Amino acid sequence: MRITASIIVFATICICNAVTVVEGASSIRSFGSTSSSNESSPEMFLDVQLPQKNAFRQEGLDIEELARWKDDRKITAFGSYKKPVPGNYREQAFIQCALDIDKNQNELEVLLALRSKLNGDSQQATNPRRHVVRLLHNFTHMYNNVRYICLVLSDGGPTLLAEYAPNYIAPKIRKLTAMLKQVVSSVASLHRNGLVHLNISPSNILVDYEADQRAPIATIRSFAYARWLDVDAYEGKLPSIMVGGDFLAKPPEYFSAGIVDGKAYDAWSIGATFYKACYGWYPFENEYMKLLKTGQTSRYPGMIARLTPDSIQQLLYPRTRLSTVSHKVIPSEFTAILEQLLHPDPEKRRTPEEIVANLNKAQAKPSIRARFIPSLSSSSSH
């Protein structure tokens, strides 16, 4: 890898209380609550322990609460972090201690690289550093001769996008539209810098609804599967086994092609993520669930390795459900972006960079804002 992370090794271990199990659309925080489980699988991270709070203080951290991520083999602690610089103020952070060394070493190196790359990206009005989780500090935690990588990350907000229940209240949909633009713009910046995320889902977007009541701040997290196009890809294509993400947020070509276009993959995942946040279900969810029930085999949690060939064809060119889920409070701008992100043909799917370019044109001409992208129904897409 291009970047080698400096590591600080420390000890002092104890069993921590107030652990909260977090799954799917549940809150990432639960102040003062506790949870227990009868599961004993080490892969579920149930027996992993974190250091005492004073051990964290050696790293400049004050821990306020703990949460356990079952599916990612990670323990996450929330608190505040003070950089080792005189007079520097504390900022809210979350500390991610992970068992999967390879996957999280990749995330560490990606976040280190993004520090400088995103600083120099001035091609858009939206500041990508504000909408991409920042690495504040990193260290290792040794327990029972097992090494855990601990990342101190900027706190992107108290909730996940997955918590946005289906609701047709106009203000909430307008907020989703604002966050959709933020995520599209930030992913476009990642792509310009040669990085594809490959793991965008409702559980990987943090939402700070307290920062701005009209336009909450959306922050992209979880770069464990991120890949550099000039290193890991050939002409923008990657083996499908390298990508992550929610099963229902994966694009149709994932199940049949064996390889995926990284930028087109991210585009679909963004569309599916915000489609779910708005409408309450994923696009083509019925077709996906048929595949899941009839022929899938899992190589490891979160990745679907093989699906029945008979189910592939019906998945490639499904009818869009956007036209059947219309409502007056949903802005045409929102559905126009989603339609282009969710094109079933990856060759015709708009990339985040193309979406941003059209958004900029629309801003210059407010009279065409709602029609800046032609809808699928008016194009010969299939």
Check residue 161 and report its DSSP letter.
Answer: G
Report the CATH number that the domain containing residue 237 is assigned in CATH.
1.10.510.10
Task: Give pLDDT, residue 52.
Answer: 54
Task: Give pLDDT, residue 200.
Answer: 94
Distance CA 255, CA 18 (A): 40
**Cα dist. 296→201, 222, 288, 302 in Å?**
20, 25, 11, 12
The pTM assigned to this predicted structure is 0.73
User: Of 129, 154, 179, which residue sits at a domain end?
Assistant: 154
Report the CATH number that the domain containing residue 85 is assigned in CATH.
3.30.200.20
Q: Are residues 126 and 218 in the same domain?
A: no
Q: Are residues 134 and 188 in the same domain?
A: no
| Within a domain: 380 | no
Q: Are residues 176 and 324 in the same domain?
A: yes
Q: Are residues 25 and 84 in the same domain?
A: yes
Q: Are residues 143 and 202 in the same domain?
A: no
User: Rounded to a whole number, what is the largest CA-CA distance in the chain?
Assistant: 64
| Within a domain: 89 | yes
Could you tell me the end-to-end alpha-carbon distance of the chain, in angstroms, rounded to an integer? Answer: 41
Mean pLDDT across 244-265:
84
**Least confident among 111-115, 128-132, 289-293:** 289-293
User: Of 154, 182, 200, which residue sits at a domain end?
Assistant: 154
Task: Please state, rounded to an integer, the average pLDDT across all residues of the chain.
Answer: 68
Task: Give pLDDT, residue 311.
Answer: 42
Q: Are residues 202 and 139 in the same domain?
A: no
| Within a domain: 274 | yes
For residue 315, give the H/E element and its range. Answer: helix 312-316
Q: Are residues 122 and 79 in the same domain?
A: yes
Decide the pairing of beta strands 135-143 and 9-10.
parallel
pLDDT at 372 over 50: no
| Within a domain: 362 | yes
Distance CA 52, CA 50 (A): 7
User: Of 116, 139, 154, which residue sits at a domain end?
Assistant: 154
pLDDT at 261 over 50: yes
pLDDT at 208 over 90: no
pLDDT at 250 over 80: yes
Q: How many domains does the chain have?
A: 2
Q: Are residues 19 and 128 in the same domain?
A: yes
Task: Give pLDDT, residue 281.
Answer: 81
Q: Are residues 40 and 166 in the same domain?
A: no
pLDDT at 63 over 60: yes
pLDDT digits 0-9 by tens, 294-347: 655 333 223 333 444 444 444 444 555 555 455 567 788 888 898 889 888 888
Q: Are residues 190 and 338 in the same domain?
A: yes
Mean pLDDT across 154-171:
72
pLDDT digits 0-9 by tens, 211-237: 676 778 999 988 989 999 887 777 778
Task: Give pLDDT, residue 271.
Answer: 93
pLDDT digits 0-9 by tens, 86-124: 556 677 777 777 766 666 788 889 999 998 887 655 455
Edge-first strand order for the sheet with 217-220 is 159-160, 205-208, 217-220
Q: Are residues 14 and 72 in the same domain?
A: yes
Q: Are residues 21 and 50 in the same domain?
A: yes
pLDDT at 284 over 80: no
Q: Where residue 258 falls among pLDDT bands split at 50, 70, 90?
A: confident
Q: Which domain holds residue 250?
A: 160-375
